[in-house]
Every structure is written in structure tokens, then in C-alpha cells.
Chain A
Amino acid sequence: MNAAWLPLSTLATSLFVTVVILALPEEARKLRTYINLLAAVIKLVLVILMIRRVAAGHEDVFSFQVVGGVDFVLRADALGVMFAGLSSLLWLCTTIYAIGYLEDSVNRKRFFGFFSLCVASTLGIALADNLFTFLIFYEMLTLSTYPLVVHSGTAKALNAGKIYLRYTLTGGVVLLLGTVLLYSLTGEHSFSSEEGLGNYLNDHRGLLILIFALLVGGLAVKAAMVPLHGWLPRAMVAPAPVSALLHAVAVVKAGAFGILRVIYDLYGIELSVELGVTTVLAVAASITIIYGSLRALAQVELKPRLAFSTVSQVSYVILGVCLFGPFGTIGALAHLLHQGLMKVTLFFCAGNYAEELGIHRIDEMDGAGQRMPLTSLAFTIGAMGMIGLPPVAGFITKWYLGIGAIQADMYWVVAVLVASSTLNAMYFLPIVHRLWFRPGPSHGKGSWPSEQHLGRLETHGWLLWPMVFTAMASLGAGLLAGLPFSPLDWATRVAIGEYLP
């Protein structure tokens, strides 16, 4: 039984909300909040429904023909619903957070409208079944994120938005070129088709490599791979919930997810290895990992440091994809989820520090653990996860990536992983040390940059609880990784599907 309505209605939920929110007047704050939360919950329920159906072995497809040979297809497959699940779960969290964060600020209508559109695009990317559909939502994501990046409207924000558009639109054009070339070579090609592009290997080897370079080159802009990462640290001027969404699930992950689709579902992993492109990509990912960590080490402000950490961490996903073998794949897929949970936690924390105490620089964080214990605890959990210390989820992925590297006989990858862990420790542990071990304003030494008392607890409840939830989730994903439907379990399911069709 094909429930075509399921992927469509899941996508339509967010799109519909966008329209409603943009139609509502700016002052209708309460109504907007209800609609937002209701839609987020509905979407989460729909995605859970989809996950259950995929687990039971159904793949729901919705499709119609646009012009001859070009179809618009949405399909709920295991990899897609994994990403959809992440995006809808974190959408709920970030929406709650954003409502608290933007209390009493201007232009909230615009913000929430485009916020919903952004998530709708992410969902479209997750469910897209061919390159054409993927491209539509990919570009939609680019455009819907721009108003969010420049939300504050300052000169710095506008400049960051300009740079963001330059990078992503250029990347989009390159991606489009690759797509057109591929369509001209093969015609319609579904992600779910079994055959891959192996038939073209003998006659069009060079062309296949060129198309791969164009596709992955275009996607690598959003995935923030060095040297195409320049927009990401600048986009830090966006409000905290946007940064959280950008880094955890929407833009950066969309790029990484696209690369996953290209390698696993378009080319097929055997063909990619045969063409030799995975090795090149693995080297590029390793360079990104180390370079991102080194740059993070040099930052003095919290959010740019987290941004460079993202540059480094997202490439773990790509590195895992390039390791031929099930373990690397499991590591890559699990990291897609784990990194999302951990990074969103860290950005929520950064936002809380900025809102409650006015902290932006790392050297202002001395002794903040006393003033904001839950936030600091969540930050510590996130940081431990990024370093890859058990029991946080980051350890699980690092473990699988390492095992995958050994089994693929790529020993240098283990060295990269260990070096990156050490570098992560070098830039996260000093922050944790400052939070808990240095005396600061809460011990009567100096004062916070601009302290507010937003709530009865350490800060506003809307800001606090989503962060607590994601921190617990990061911890739980590592501690109970063996449970069914944990990120690791689902990643294993997808990987088995890839390798044992």
C-alpha cells in the first residue's frame, strides 16, 4: 500500500504554515506561536509515522511529471526519513527556543515565516528522490535562509548575507551545471534505482568524474568544506536559533546530505571507489577537519569558535562516506544525527549566555557555571561530545569512523581522528575550565557585560528547556546507543540497506 499523502502532507505542513504566518498581522503574537508549535508537533508526528512505515518495509512515493523526462518525486526511504526526523525534531526545539529568544523584538513575522520555509526546504531535500527535486529544494533553502541571516539588519549582517549569497548561489550554479550534464547523459535517474551509473563507466569515465566534481563541488559550498567555508563563520551574526538551525540541520547538513545522496544513491559506492573520487574527497575532508580545528583554536569569540568547529565536524560525515565499508557509513550517518544534536545544544548555550549575561567573548565566561549551572552543564556535555569522549554521542561516531578507516586500510584517517580529537580538546576544554574553575563575576570578581534576569530559573524557560532536552538527547544517544531506534541503530539499518541490498 502506497500512502502518497504522507510525504506530501509532511512537506505541506511547513509550507502551509509559512503562508499562514506571512498572512497574519505582525501583532498576532499568540496565534503565531500556537500555529508554529502545532505545526511542528504535527510534522513530528507525521515523520514518526513515516519512520514506522519505513521500518515496516514500506516506501511511500508521491510523484508527478513536470515536463517529459523530468519528474517531481518525493520518496520516504530510510536515509531520507533519518534526515527528516532530525530536522523535524530540531525544528520543534529551535522554534520553542526562537519564540523565547525573539521575545519583544521586531520583524518576528518575517522571521518565523522564513524559518518555516527553511525547514520545509530541508524536509524537501530529505525526501527528494531525484536530482531535479533535490535541486529545487536546495535552492529554495538558499533563498529562504538569507532573510534569517540578515535578520538584525545591521551593516555587518547585510554584509554577511551578501557573502552568504555569493558563495551559495555560485555553488548552486555549479550544482545545476552538474545536474544538467547528468540528465543529458542518463536522462531521469532516481535515487532509489538499483543500477547506479555503472553502465556508463566504460564509455564516459572522464565525463562521470567531471559530473561528480561539479555536483560535489557545488554541494561542498553548503557543507562548508575548505576552501569553500568562508561564508559560515561570517553568518554567525544571525540570531542564535538561526545559527543553531544552520549548523545543526539546515544548510550545512543539507550539503553533507547531498554528498551522501550523490555517492550512495546516484553513483553507488562501488562506482565512486572505482573512479577514485572517494580518496580525493577523503583527503579534502581530512584537510577540512584539521584546518577547521586549527582555526577554531585561534578564535576569541564563542560563536565563531563554534562555527569553525562545525566546519571541522561536518567533514566527519563526508570522511565516513569515503571509507569503503559498512562501519564508515554507519559512522557518517550516525554523525549526521549526533553532530546535529550536539551542535544545536552548543549554540543554544551560546545564545543563552549572550541573552542572559551578554557574553560573546570566551574570556568573559569565567565562572559562568555558578550563575547558569544548567546551561553550563549542557555546554560541557556538548563539548565532551565534540571531543569524542564517552558517554556522549560523539564518541560513538568517532569509534565507528575509526573502525571503518582501519577496515578500509586507511590508517592515516585514524591519525586524523586522533589529532582532531586532541585539537577539539584544546579548544573546548579551556572554555569548560573557565566555566567551572575560574572565579568570575558570580564570585564577586568583575561584572557580566550586560546581565538580565529573564526568568525565574537561570534564564527564560523557553530558552532553557529545549537546550536541556537536546543535551539529554546527545547524552542518551551515546549512553543507550544499543537501543532500537537510536541514531546508531537507524544508521546501521540504512548502512545495511546500502551494502546488502
Chain B
Amino acid sequence: MMTLLLTLALLWPLCIAGRAVWLSYRTPEAQRDYFSILWLSAAWPALLLAYAGEAQWVIDAWMLGGLWELNSLSRPWLAFTALLWSLAAVHARGYFAADQVNAQAGDQDAQRRLLRLSLLWPLTLLGNVALIIAQDIASFYLGFAVMTFAAYALVVHSGTREARLGGKAYLILAVIGEGLILGGFLWAAGEAETLTLQGVRESILLAEHGVWMATLLWLGFGVKAGVIGLHVWLPLAHPVAPAPASAVLSGAMIKAGLLGWISVLPLGEAAISPLLSQFGHTMLVLGLVAAFTAALYGVFQRHPKAVLAYSSISQMGMLTALVAMGLAAPEVWPLLWPGIVLFAAHHALAKGALFMGTSISEHLPRWPLPLIGGLMALPGISLVGAIGAGMVSKWSVKSPLYEMHYDSLTKLLTLAAVGTATLVSVALWRQWQQRQQGGSNGWQCGAWLGAIAAALLTPLWLPLPADTIAMPPTSEWLGIIWPLPVGVALVAVGAVLLRRSNIKVPPAGDLWWLYAKAVGAALVPVAVVSRECAKLKAASVTTSKRAEEAVMSYLTRLLAAESWMRHHASGLMMVLAVLLAALLMWEGQR
């Protein structure tokens, strides 16, 4: 039964992608429904699978040997990923309704865009599901690569100049990330002769150069997870992607990087080497730096989705710091990891709801404005930790840290929540400024409401191990809630103070522009060297050609000598005969 469900979960998205192609060839363009109910169902088998229980599959014929597993970690992960994908798909049906009408009316461009999206969306989903289930390196890498490259279509969907830039940044960093991951995997797997992720964990723990393997893998997955320095694609790609695509990018796919870390780093192992522990501390610091600087930079952005992208970087910074605790303080990990999963799941749904909200504010339904505003704010408030699942998830990561007396980290995380609050308020404020009436769609709103509900109730449906999550005691509520009013107040004060001054908005993608300049400068000497090499090569070709001609002309002259010899053949023979005779005589005399 489980096997059937697994097969269905993996094959169903493929079938739906196939159907998208079929549609474009066999159905008249006026009847093409790119986002039919069938298409919406792509993630449903995976969602069912997550709730069907634990299981393990070993498939020898699959690549280097397949090992797939549903365990206490991958089940909740699959559950929130599949749920977000399902909701985003429903949202997409509403979001692209107008485009679909155009396509059915014969707009070639719209047809092409929708075909591409409806084809590659299920493939991206497939990669995401596969990497969650996979426990062997090859399948994991396969899922990761499929997801990464198929998602390019989601980023560049609109085809504008900005979208192409976002897509370019996304792809370049993705390729760099893939390279780093490959290097890390090869190194770790080669040392330990292993083919499973479990083996990689052990290899990193035991190997002499374990810390370098960990660094490669951390950075490689960090491209997805938005590690500071490699995060530049997020604020470039998110604003240009369609809202449902941003939702899955920021909710589900970013989390794939996080899952990568949890799968390959030896978290919570007692026998951790001092170097690895050091690495954990570095990771912790960088995570916190990302959490704060992203908030600081993000609040100045104009585009609400760019603000939300920076909020994702900030949140992932917090998650990086929490994962780093598994290396820096292994004893806290068994208590901490369910909290991290809950944090990730809640962030996925809440961020999904926020991104879907940006499309709602562009097409406001005819509901009372305060109601809409309240609904928009709900996932944000929850993300800060003031209500619902956000509160539980904040507490579930803080309580183990309290228990083990990591007070400074909890304080810093609370401060980072202030950053979250400011970012969310700025995003909502920007949405308010840029709101537009009309053109709302039932599917769009329905998915959005569903995502809000799912975000607020995350602990209730997430299949985590029993008794790992608890509500915070009322005495701790104040400590979790206070960042929200402080953050909102900060934004209000800041807005009043900066009203007069005329500061320029820093460009989205911050370091990207620096990198682009640096690469441009580095290419100049390369061009010079290659030009010189080309010259050198041309010169050596001419030289050798000239040498060859010289030799050939010499040979030709020798041939000319031949006719002279023919002419004097008899005389030469005589000379030869005399010489031979002389030689013989000299021989005889000795």
C-alpha cells in the first residue's frame, strides 16, 4: 500500500507534466485549461504519503542504489512541503486566470508561458518530493538538481528584463551551488566509500578533513537556503516571479537547503571534533549576522516581495543559527530538532501566505478593507511569534535553549524577531501603498485563506513525534510577544523621522552588483592573456609553416640534383668503381 502510494507520489507529477504537453498538441487552444483540477492534484499523493506512516524502500537497480525512507524527519517535511505546493497550485489557478483567458483567445505568448509553467511546475514539485524521501546521495542529488533547474521556469515566467536578470542570478548561483555540493559529496563519500546520507554524516564526523567537507556542503546547500553572501538571488528572483511561484520558492524550496544541512551535517553527535565545533560556532555567528543585516537592508526596499525576500533571508539566518547549535552544542540537538522542523514548517506556510497576499493586494476583493488588512497581517504576526503557531514554534526552539542555559542566543533570537516584525510591517505597508482594486478570483483568495489557516494551526497538523511540542506557559508569553509592538513602533518612528529626508533606496540584490563588478574586472586580464595566447599561437603556426617550406624547398633542390646525377651517370659509376677498387686494395694490404 505504501509502495503504491510512493509510486503514485512520484509518478503523478510526471503524468501531469506529460498531460500538459499532450494538451498543447491535442486540444484546441480555446479549450485548453492549463490549471485544471487534475493539475491542482499534482502534490496530493505526496501529501497522503506523508500521513500514511513510516516506511523504507531499497531499490538496487536505481542509479547507484536507491534508499528511500519516510522517517520522523522526512514525514513532517513532506507534509508541509506538499501542503504548500497544493495550496500554491490552487492559488496559481486564480492568479493566472486572466492570462488563461488571453491564451484561449489566441495570444501565442500567453500560451507559451502557461504551457511552460504548467509543464515545469509539477517537475519542480517532483524534485522537491524526491529529495525529501531520498536517503541515498544519488537520489537526493537528483531531486535537488531537478528541482533547481526546473524552478528556473518559475522565476523567469513573465519574461521581462527584470525577470531575466532574476533568472540569471538564480541560475548562476544554482550552478555554483551544485558544484560545491558535488565536491562535498564526492569528498565525503569517497573517504568513507558510502552511498547514503547517513554515511556522509559519519564520514564528516570521522574524517580528518571533515570540516572542509562540511564547509563545502554547507555553502552548496546555502545557496538555496540563502546563506549570507550567497543569498543575492533571493531578492532579485522573488519580486519578479509570479506570486504562487514565490510562495513555493520561499516556502518549500529554500527549505530544501535546510533539509540538506540537517541530512549531511553530523548534528547532535557527542563525539564531535573541536574543529567541527568551531565550524558550528562560525555558522552560528554568520546565521545571526544574516538575520540582522537582512532585516536592516530589507526595510528600505520598495517592492513588498523584495521586503519579503529579505525577511526570508533573515528567517533562514535564524534557522542557520539553530542548526549550528547541533554542532556547537550537540547535547541540545535531540530536544531542538522538532522545534526546528516546526519553525521551518510554520515559516513555509506563513511566508507562502504572505507571498500569496501580495497578489491579493494587487487584486483586492470586495470585502471590508479592515478585514482584508487583518487577514494580510495574520501570517506576519504569527511569523513574529505573537500568535498561534508562531508562538508555539518560537517557544519550541527557545525552551530547549533555556533548559541548557544558552541565554545569550535566546536573547539574540528574540532581538531578531524584532527585525522580523519591522520587515513584516514594512511589507504590509508597501502592499497598502501599492494596493489595487478589482480582478480578484475565488481560487486565489481561497488558497490564500487556506494558507493562513494552515500557517496559524501548523502544530495541529504537522506529523511530528508525539510530545515534542508544547504551548508556552503563560508566564513566558510576554517574552515572546514583545518584539511585535516594538518592531511596529520602530517602523512607525522610522517612517516619521525619515519622511523629510530623501534617502535613495538601496538596490535589491545588494552584493550581486558588487559581484558583477568584481567578475567584470577579473575578466579583463583574462581577455588580455587569451589575446596574447592567440597571438603566440598564430606566430608559432607561421613560424612552423615557414620552417616546413624551407625544408621542402631544400628537398626540392635535392631532387633537382638528381637530374644532374642522371646526366653524369656513367662518369659517376666510374668514380664509384675506382673508389671500390681502391678500398679493396687497401683492405688487401692490411
Binding site for B on A (CB under 8 A): 327, 370, 373, 388-391, 395-396, 398-399, 402-407, 411, 414-415, 417-419, 421-422, 425-426, 429, 436-437, 439, 443-444, 478-483
Contacts and interface: CB of A to CB of B under 8 A. Distances in A.
B142 A388 contact: no
Given A390-B141, A402-B186, A437-B156, A422 B176 contact: yes
A236 to B, nearest CB: 19
Q: Main SS of the interface on chain A?
A: helix
How big is the B interface, by class? 35 or more
27 contacts: A370-B112, A388-B182, A389-B178, A390-B141, A390-B145, A391-B63, A396-B63, A396-B64, A402-B182, A405-B186, A406-B186, A406-B191, A411-B187, A415-B183, A419-B179, A421-B182, A422-B176, A422-B179, A436-B116, A437-B116, A437-B152, A437-B156, A480-B63, A482-B61, A482-B64, A482-B65, A483-B61
Contacts of A426: 175
B462 interface: no
A292 B66 CA distance: 34
A403 B193 contact: yes
A482 B191 contact: no
A144 B176 CA distance: 44
Interface string B131-175: 000000010011001000100110010000000000000010001
Contact of B63 (A437, A443, A479): A479
Contacts of B183: 414-415, 418
B60 A403 contact: no
B175 A429 contact: yes
B63 A478 contact: yes
A449 B534 CA distance: 31
Contacts of A443: 108-109, 112
A392 to B, nearest CB: 10
B186 to A, nearest CB: 3
Q: Which of B64, B65, B141 has the most CB of A within 10 A?
A: B64
Nearest to A444: B108
Contact of B62 (A395, A418, A444, A480): A480
Interface in B57-99: 59-66
Contacts of B180: 418
B175 A399 contact: no
A411 B188 CA distance: 12
B25 to A, nearest CB: 9
A370 B21 CA distance: 11
Contact of A417 (B60, B142, B186): B186
B125 interface: no
Given A406-B191, A422-B176, A429-B175, A414 B186 contact: yes
Contact of A399 (B21, B109, B138): B138
Contacts of A390: 63, 138, 141-142, 145
A67 B142 CA distance: 56
Contacts of A481: 63-64
Interface in B507-540: none
B439 interface: no
B190 interface: yes
A481 to B, nearest CB: 5
Q: Which of B176, B183, B190 has the most CB of A within 10 A?
A: B190
B109 A479 contact: no
A62 B180 CA distance: 50
A210 B235 CA distance: 59
A426 B141 CA distance: 19
A417 B181 CA distance: 12
Contacts of A418: 179-180, 182-183, 186
Q: Which of A399, A406, A437, A479 has the most CB of B within 10 A?
A: A399
B50 interface: no
Given A406-B191, A437-B152, A480-B63, 8 more contacts: A395-B141, A395-B142, A403-B193, A404-B190, A406-B189, A406-B190, A418-B179, A482-B63
**A-B CB proximity, top 5 nearest:** A406-B190, A402-B186, A390-B142, A482-B61, A403-B190
Contacts of A403: 186, 189-190, 193
Interface in B102-148: 108-109, 112, 116, 138, 141-142, 145
Nearest to A405: B190
A406 B62 contact: no
A479 B64 CA distance: 9
B62 A414 contact: no
A411 B187 CA distance: 8
Contacts of B189: 403, 406
Nearest to B112: A443
A389 B149 contact: yes
Contacts of B182: 388, 398, 402, 417-418, 421
Nearest to A367: B112
Contacts of B65: 482
Interface in B395-411: none
Contacts of A391: 63, 142
Given A390-B142, A415-B183, A437-B156, A402 B63 contact: no
A395 B139 CA distance: 11
A473 B134 CA distance: 24
Given A399-B138, A407-B190, A482 B60 contact: yes
A223 B63 CA distance: 29
B502 to A, nearest CB: 39
Contacts of A407: 190, 193
A395 B156 contact: no
Contacts of A436: 116
B145 A429 contact: no
B223 to A, nearest CB: 13
A244 B82 CA distance: 43
Contacts of B190: 327, 402-407, 414
B61 A480 contact: yes
B62 A479 contact: yes
B189 to A, nearest CB: 6
B531 to A, nearest CB: 12
Contacts of B175: 422, 425-426, 429
A413 to B, nearest CB: 10
A368 to B, nearest CB: 13
Interface string B180-222: 1011001101110100000000000000000000000000000
Contacts of B62: 479-480, 482
A429 to B, nearest CB: 7
B446 to A, nearest CB: 31
Nearest to B60: A482
Q: Which of B21, B152, B153, B179 has the most CB of A within 10 A?
A: B179
A414 B180 CA distance: 11
Nearest to B164: A437
A97 B368 CA distance: 67
A421 B61 contact: no
A426 B10 CA distance: 30
A490 to B, nearest CB: 15
A479 to B, nearest CB: 6
A482 B66 CA distance: 9
Contacts of B179: 418-419, 421-422
Q: Which of B21, B138, B189, B193 has the most CB of A within 10 A?
A: B138
B80 to A, nearest CB: 25
Nearest to B141: A390
A429 B171 contact: yes
Nearest to B137: A399
A297 B21 CA distance: 32
A431 to B, nearest CB: 13
A327 B60 CA distance: 18
A154 B142 CA distance: 46
Q: Which of A327, A370, A398, A402 has the most CB of B within 10 A?
A: A402
Contacts of B152: 437
Contacts of B176: 422
A370 B189 CA distance: 41
A330 to B, nearest CB: 11
A324 B65 CA distance: 24
A414 B212 CA distance: 13
